[in-house]
């Protein structure tokens, strides 16, 4: 069965935000929204649940912290202890102030790099992936709202969308 969607084009982000609220209040199903830049409050207006990327970032930071401590302990205390500037080399605790910058840098390194990898995997942005943008104008200055119309009257929905401030409406059959 072919699915039908309506693409409603808007020219202003505030107008789009108001339209999203009106469309959700009218109980229409918004499939996707394409914008040229992030619109503050759009995720809440669409009713999307909050992301767990911050939790993942904290866990990645903890992994970096643990790797840094284990690495510094092994390299500077167990494997090749050296007397540098008269500092004792037989205890990690006694040398820990000297290790703080390295621990900090590895914590940030692990959190940042693993977050980028997680974001790309979660967003399904693979290398050489073709763009899924339905209208090229959404990369420049227009906003597109994609609404599922499988159980709705197309004419009624189109009229409703024009009343919300849509500049252009297209019916797309997949």
Output the pLDDT for position 60: 98
What mean pLDDT is predicted for residues 58-65? Answer: 97
pLDDT digits (tens, 9 = 90+) for 93-151: 888 888 899 999 999 999 999 999 998 998 888 888 888 888 888 888 999 999 998 87
The band of 88, judged by pLDDT with boundaries at 50, 70 and 90, is low
Q: What is the DSSP track for the chain?
A: ---EEEEEEES-HHHHHHHHHHHHHTT-EEEEEE-SS--TTHHHHHTPPPP-HHHHHHHHHHHHHHHHHHHHIIIIIIIS----TT---S-HHHHHHHHHHHHHHHHHHHHHHHHHHHHHHHHT--TTPPP--S-GGGGTT-EEEEEE-TTS-HHHHHHHHHHTT-SEEEEEE-
Q: 87 vs 36, which has greater pLDDT? A: 36
pLDDT digits (tens, 9 = 90+) for 26-58: 999 999 999 999 999 999 999 988 888 899 999
Helix axes 92-123, 53-72, angle to 10 degrees: 150
pTM of the model: 0.71
Output the pLDDT for position 149: 86
């Amino acid at each position: 069965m072919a699915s039908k969607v309506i693409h409603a084009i808007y020219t202003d982000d505030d107008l789009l935000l108001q339209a999203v609220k009106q469309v959700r209040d009218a109980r229409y199903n918004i499939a996707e929204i394409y914008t040229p830049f992030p619109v503050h409050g759009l995720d809440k207006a669409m009713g999307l649940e909050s992301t767990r990327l911050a939790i993942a970032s904290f866990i990645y930071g903890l992994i970096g912290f643990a790797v840094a401590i284990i690495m510094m302990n092994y390299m500077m205390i167990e494997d090749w202890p050296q007397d540098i500037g008269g500092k004792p080399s037989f205890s990690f605790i006694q040398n820990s102030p000297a290790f703080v910058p390295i621990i900090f840098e590895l914590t940030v390194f692990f959190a940042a790099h693993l977050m980028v990898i997680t974001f790309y995997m979660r967003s399904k942005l693979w290398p050489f992936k073709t763009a899924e943008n339905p209208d090229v104008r959404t990369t420049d200055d227009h906003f597109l709202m994609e609404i599922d119309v499988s159980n709705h009257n197309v004419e009624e929905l189109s009229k409703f969308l024009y009343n919300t401030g849509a500049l252009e409406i297209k019916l797309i059959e997949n």
